[in-house]
A = this chain, B = another copy of it.
């Protein structure tokens, strides 16, 4: 296998694992790719079946005011995707049609709506946690499509992808203990699949020059960890699982309180499902039937 960007993309296409869609970062997924993805997600469900997690599924779109309230437009304006729509009459529709058929831009004929793409699997959940948590807090799991506006020919850098997420809300001690426990569990799950996984302190791509300071602060305080596996290159391994400790950020914004009345803390972890699948193909080859038996037995139990 090759270690260059277009090489790996083309190999995934040649093996029918993905199919180009005309958009960078939003290819179609073939049957075998999707089967491995579902099986990995099912493995996570099996491993966590004793955890008392509530299960939700959210659409790929989100209430725009959630992004406004959590300062997403300050931190990551370059990644947001807003849904704009047409609210004109027949006359305006004729203008729109004429522009489309003339090959002219027509985005200015659309208006912003209440809808944005969901940039993080956990965001739709926080408003729902509003109020007082039960004594031991809450644990929720979800598999949601998320959107980041960073089109790229690099196959692991998608604009639209799925994340299997867990969110823990509760007291600071409970939340940090949960995060530390899952850092170990997440690493073990990925190691058990024969992936050369390593955990590391990480930071988010905050926008601009001020963003650099935010990233440095996040690293210094060890608020974000990632589990990395080589997919595109050995030197810059790909994050396939990430852990974020938000302290009281979402608790403050959405009025989430612990049973004893303090502002709740939250943390989340997410497996980037397509990235896990790509890491498996990169590591074990493009034919799952030929993968090592100990890996197969985890996914085809």
A157 within 8 A of B: no
Contact with B along A11-39 (1 / 0, CB 8 A): 00000000101110010111100100000
B145 and A60 contact, CB distance less than 8 A: yes
Which residues of chain B have C-beta atoms less than 8 A from A84's C-beta? 81-84, 107, 110, 112
Interface residues of A in 95-123 (CB under 8 A from B): 96-97, 100, 105-108, 110-115, 117
Q: Is the CB of A22 within 8 A of B90?
A: no
Contact between A81 and B80 (Cβ–Cβ < 8 Å)? no
In angstroms, Cα B81 to Cα A208, docked, is: 29
Given contacts A77-B96, A97-B74, A107-B112, contact A30 B55 (CB under 8 A): yes
Q: How far is the CB of A240 from chain B (nearest CB, A)?
A: 18
Q: Provided the pairs A57-B34, A68-B100 are in contact, do residues A83 and B85 lie with their beta carbons within 8 angstroms?
A: no
Contact of A290 with B by CB under 8 A: no
Nearest Cβ on chain B to A295's Cβ, whole angstroms = 23
Q: How far, in whole Å, are A201 and B73 apart by their CA atoms in the complex?
A: 47
Cβ contacts A168-211/B at 8 Å (1 or 0 each): 00000000000000000000000000000000000000011100
- What class of interface size applies to chain A in its complex with B? 35 or more
Residue numbers in B under 8 Å from A63 (CB-CB): 21-23, 26
Q: Is A83 in contact with B86, judged by CB distance below 8 angstroms?
A: no
Q: Contacts A23-B62, A30-B56, A112-B107; is A100 near B127 (CB within 8 Å)?
A: no
Report the separation of the CA atoms of residues A57 and B28 in the bound assembly, to the nearest whole angstrom: 6
Tell me, yes or no, whether A213 is within 8 Å of chain B by CB: no
A291 contacts partner chain B, Cβ-Cβ < 8 Å? no
- Select from chain B the residue with minimum beta-carbon distance to A73: B100
Q: Least Cβ distance of A183 to chain B in Å?
A: 26
Whether A59 sits at the interface, judged by CB under 8 Å, is: yes
What is the bound-complex CA distance between A65 and B21, given in angstroms? Answer: 11
Question: Across the interface, do A113 and B149 meet the contact criterion of CB distance under 8 Å?
Answer: yes
B80 contacts A57, CB within 8 Å?
no
**A21, B85: Cβ atoms under 8 Å?**
no
Q: Determine whether the beta carbon of B97 is less than 8 Å from that of A73.
A: yes
Query: How distant is A67 from chain B, measured CB to nearest CB, in Å?
Result: 9
Inter-subunit contact B21/A117 (CB<8 Å): no
**Closest residue on chain B to residue A60 by CB atoms:** B60
Chain A 120-160: CB-based contact to B (< 8 A → 1; otherwise 0): 00001101100000000000000001010101000000111
Task: Give the distance in Å from the alpha carbon of A136 to the alpha carbon of B68 in the complex.
Answer: 52
Whether a CB of chain B sits under 8 angstroms from the CB of A215 is no
**Any B CB within 8 A of the CB of A66:** yes
Any B CB within 8 A of the CB of A61: yes
> Contacts A23-B114, A55-B31, A66-B22; is A208 near B90 (CB within 8 Å)?
yes
